[in-house]
Amino acid sequence: MSDKNLTKAPNLSHELLTPLNAILGMTQILNQDNDLNSQQKEMIQSIHHSGEKLLLLIRKVLNIPNSSQDDVNLSETVTFDMTTSPIHIMVVDDVQVNRFMIQKILSPFANITIDEASDAETALVQMEQRIPHILIIDIFMPGMNGFDAIQLIRQNPLFQSIIIIVMSSDPIDYHREKVNANGIHAYLEKPVKRDKLIAVINDNAKNLSRPDEDCIDMDFVLTANQIPDDKCLSELKMLCNQGAFSDIRTLISSIKESYPEFSALTLKLVTKFQFSEINDRINAFQKLPERNMNPA
């Protein structure tokens, strides 16, 4: 495929397919509504199938290869055994409907939390405060595109463990070289399909950066005087509940000289995203009867 076609087809397909992708995505969401009667679901399926036919026609007119994704049968409910470990996902797309659709698809999984950004620049700022396990990012967006953002992410030492999934209306062949060059873990064609999205996350969740209990020396016992006061511990718990990675590191840095052992332990845990583990240890520390409480 020539460079001219590679440039023209993605830009044109993005403009034409964005609203159609939203329609096809929402029909998937609506079909999962148990409050709908059989006639309403039949109407939704009719809209979906009509949209699929229009999608094929647009691809044919633009000489775009058909999607390699399997068709979704809207009459079936697809389920997966998603890992129960906490998964923090950031979704970056300039189209709000696309972000909403991913939110709705993943909402049944209580262990998944999702942050959103409408552009790459905002996403990079948010990620400094709350590092995701998985980033799902659109390729074509106003301002910085997805691939440029990924290059910046790959240059940041804090973001090395992030699993990156890109999405686009284009077949992967249009972007395969960049996908391979940037170490991207998965490629989702729009309209993003429910079973494909869940399967991709479920598969990549196995490779999330998790603490190896055998490699982290967390068994040493802290004495009462090695633990910060309740004000500091309460602030740390609040930040852990928010998953505020950057703010936690800043707080730990501020108490490092006074409480080096506590800081070292907490830093090991937060680097591995073990926020609940930190909270559990803080609760245990606060119950120590012999601890000398510093004034809050």
Q: What is the pLDDT confidence band of residue 40, given thresholds at 50, 70 and 90?
A: confident
- Distance of alpha carbon 18 from alpha carbon 25, whole angstroms: 11
The pTM score is 0.59
Which tens digits make up the pLDDT trace of 247-272? Answer: 888 898 899 888 888 888 887 787 66
pLDDT at 236: 92
User: What's the CATH superfamily of 3-207?
Assistant: Response regulator (3.40.50.2300)
For the chain, what are the domain ranges?
Answer: 3-207, 224-286
Strands (E) across the chain are located at 87-92, 112-117, 134-138, 163-168, 186-189
pLDDT at 90: 95
Candidate from 3-12, 14-23, 200-209, 243-252 with smallest mean pLDDT: 3-12
The answer to whether residues 55 and 17 touch, using CB atoms and an 8 Å cutoff, is yes
Which tens digits make up the pLDDT trace of 74-87? Answer: 334 445 566 667 78
